[in-house]
Amino acid sequence: MNKKTVRDIDVRGKRVLVRVDFNVPLAEGKVTDDTRIRAALPTIRYLIDQGARVILMSHLGRPKGQVKEDLRMAPVAARLSELLGQPVLTAQDCIGPQVQAMVQELKPGQVLLLENTRFHEEETKNDPEFARQLALLGDVFVNDAFGAVHRAHASTEGIAHYLPAVAGFLLEKEITFLGKALESPERPFAAILGGAKISDKIGVIENLLGKVDVLLIGGGMANTFFKAQGYDVGESLVEDESLDTARDMLARAGGKLVLPVDAVVADAFSADAQSKVVEVDAVPAGWRILDIGPKTVDLFKEKLAGAKTVVWNGPMGVFEFPKFAVGTVEIAKAVAALEAMTIIGGGDSVAAVEQAGLADKMSHISTGGGASLEFLEGKTLPGIAALADVGQT
């Protein structure tokens, strides 16, 4: 990775302002899934051990520039405190004289969590004055919020113009894995793309087609390719406005792009719908494709055999319904069994792999849905671009 990290700077005794992604689900004032908090622990623990004064900031939900009582960071601070085994102080705001006074009181090794940055509308507008106000709280800035690096907001991008800015360990890990796959993958390099819509992922398909040895397409997005080939897909989810794009991609991809050969179809979009397996050109009128079929699972397994790098984004079917999760689970098992660098990106894909109990069998599970997609599209992510390059003084 060509960005400086928290290891490259002296943090002892310094006020270290860390952007974390603590945008976690809450219910009744409690954190219901602390995955994102845990993901930030290596950086936070390192800073504590180094004797830094640790100031954390994050957004939570979508308060749209207003103070929303149910989107305060207090429950997050409580959970973080349990995980760290030490108190985590909280502030009533993320800028201003009161917060500055709290920061001044902070002792080496202590942790303060600022209030939700999106209580200020200036945050998402990347307002320079607001970014400068945030920057007053630290001597250095560490970005460890991979899930937010695709946004040019004050706490992710703007602030880096006012302070020395480096990556935390989570951000480093994400950039290292995703960057390696895109820039210098061990081959064969296979990508698996699925999910609901092709329109969400055209940029990813475009970018990956130029890099991979094989691109397997499943999920709802395959339907648009089927229709582009002239098949009748019944009531399946199709994006007619993307038919030309699909045709164009098929023409350019040659043999690299592999589509399903059979499908599990259902007579309704529901968990207990009637289902059967059909060839992709034989979807009965009134039925819809909700999963890849068994022949496709075998075909995809064959194509994955021997792969040394695998990037997977998007489930193979409507995995939320157990009856239509089989294709996704079978592909997850196949990927997990490979002797390869395996990377899973995308919120639903990660959920599917976790549901299958295979998350710890993968090399890397990306913590950023939107951010990992934009990374795979080859886009410049503003929160990463703003950090100091290696060798820069």
Instruction: Return d(Cα 262, Cα 256) in angstroms, integer.
Output: 18
Question: Which of residues 188, 203, 347, 378 is near Mg ion by CB under 5 A?
Answer: 347
Q: What is the secondary structure of 321-359 as a DSSP string?
A: SGGG-HHHHHHHHHHHHSSSEEEEESHHHHHHHHHTT-G
- Among 89-97, 107-115, 150-158, 190-198, the segment contacting ligand ADP (CB under 6 A): 190-198
Judged by beta carbon, residue 1 or residue 351, the one nearer Mg ion is 351
Residue closer to ligand ADP by CB (options 195, 382) is: 195
Stretch that binds ligand ADP, among 11-19, 135-143, 275-283, 342-350 (CB under 6 A): 342-350
Between CA 269 and CA 91 the distance in angstroms is 47
State the catalytic residues: 36, 197, 347, 370
Least distance (Å) between residue 92 CB and ligand ADP: 35
Burial of 340 (0-12, 13-18, 19+ CB in 10 A): buried
Which is nearer to ligand ADP, 349 or 367 (by Cβ)?
Answer: 349
Residue 348 is a binding residue for ligand ADP (CB under 6 A): yes
Please classify residue 183 by burial: count the beta carbons closer than 10 Å to its beta carbon, then call 0-12 exposed, 13-18 middle and 19+ buried: exposed
The length of the chain is 393
CB of 297 to ligand ADP, least distance (A): 14
Which CB sits closer to Mg ion, 194 or 293? 194
317 is a contact residue toward ligand ADP (CB under 6 A): yes
Q: Is 314 exposed, middle or buried (0-12, 13-18, 19+ CB in 10 A)?
A: buried
80, interface contact from ligand ADP, Mg ion, none, CB < 5-8 Å by kind: none
**Separation between Cα atoms, residue 347 and residue 22, nearest integer Å:** 15
Beta bridge partners of 275: 266
Cis peptide before 188 (omega within 30 of 0): yes
Q: Does 219 bind ligand ADP (CB under 6 A)?
A: yes
List C-alpha distances in Å: 172 to 41, 44, 226, 278.
Answer: 14, 14, 39, 45
Task: Based on the shown chain and the rule CB under 6 A, indicate whether residue 356 belongs to the binding site for ligand ADP.
Answer: no
- Candidates 195, 234, 382, 383: give the one binding ligand ADP (CB under 6 A): 195
Interface with ligand ADP includes 260 (CB under 6 A)? no
Smaller CB separation from ligand ADP, 63 or 369: 369
Tell me how many residues contact ligand ADP (CB under 6 A): 20
Sign of the torsion angle spanned by Cα atoms 142, 147, 150, 153: negative
Q: According to the binding rule CB under 5 A, does residue 348 interact with Mg ion?
A: yes
374 counts as binding Mg ion under rule CB under 5 A: no
Sequence-ordered alpha helix ranges (H) in the chain:
35-39, 41-49, 74-84, 97-105, 128-135, 169-183, 202-209, 221-228, 243-253, 294-304, 326-337, 347-355, 369-376, 382-385
Least spacing, CB of residue 351 vs ligand ADP, in Å? 8
Nearer to ligand ADP, 139 or 330 (CB): 330
Considering only the stretches 27-35, 66-74, 186-194, 348-356, report the one whose residues sit in contact with Mg ion under the rule CB under 5 A. Answer: 348-356
- Nearest-approach distance from CB 319 to ligand ADP, in angstroms: 6
Of 137 and 371, nearer to ligand ADP (C-beta) is: 371
Chain positions 142 to 181 lying near Mg ion, rule: CB under 5 A, are: none
Count the alpha carbons within 13 Å of 228 in the hemisphere toward its beta carbon: 21
d(CA 298, CA 261): 10
Q: Does 196 bind ligand ADP (CB under 6 A)?
A: yes
Report residue 112: phi and psi, to 5°. Answer: -125, 130
Closer of 175 and 371 to ligand ADP (Cβ): 371
Residue 347 touching ligand ADP (CB under 6 A): yes
Kind plus residue range of the DSSP H or E element containing 27: strand 26-27
| Residues numbered 276-295 forming contacts with ligand ADP, rule: CB under 6 A | 289-290
The interface with ligand ADP within residues 363-382 (CB under 6 A) comprises 369
Question: Binding residue for ligand ADP (CB under 6 A) from 75, 168, 234, 315?
Answer: 315
State the distance between the two ends of the chain, measured CA to CA, in whole angstroms: 17
Given the rule CB under 5 A, which residues bind Mg ion? 347-348
Given the rule CB under 6 A, which residues bind ligand ADP? 194-196, 200, 219-220, 237, 289-290, 313-315, 317-318, 320, 346-349, 369
